[in-house]
Amino acid sequence: MFNRSYIQLHKGHPHYMTDSKALSLQKKTTLSIEEEKLLIIAHNLSNPTKLKIYSLLTRVKSMPVTDISLILNLSQSAVSHALADLRNLGLVESYRCGQLICYSLKRGKQKNKFLSFFDNFN
């Protein structure tokens, strides 16, 4: 249980809470595995470069790295690095189109939660 010896003096106050209620709240606020994954994605999308790339890819079917670099006015190296991180998270996928490497959003249940967020801005 919790070490909350101070709480006994507060019985009857609006903020008084039993240990069982505190334990119940603790269990309810523990993140699920899916919520942990979404938190990791959200943390990565807090990076302006990754967020801009992700947002851009919500507006097109696919796009080569060179065009992403041009549109966002970023170096190809910076874009490639950010895309590698987004690919490792499972947010984007890549394929070769001749000499170009093209990227698109990877559609999935978890990723659609983020897509629905961006739909409000399109």
Counting the structural domains of the chain, the total is: 2
pLDDT score for 16: 73
- pLDDT (tens digit, 0 to 9) for every residue of the chain, 122 residues total? 566 666 666 676 776 777 787 788 888 888 888 778 778 888 888 899 999 999 999 899 999 999 999 999 999 999 999 999 999 988 899 999 899 999 999 876 555 555 555 555 44
59 with 71, same domain: the answer is yes
pLDDT at 42: 81
One domain for residues 7 and 65? no
Q: Are 72 and 120 in contact (CB under 8 A)?
A: no
Check whether residue 7 and residue 44 sit in a common domain.
no
Based on the fold, state whether residues 67 and 105 are members of the same structural domain.
yes
Q: Which residues contact 115 (CB under 8 A, 6 or more apart)?
A: 58, 105, 107
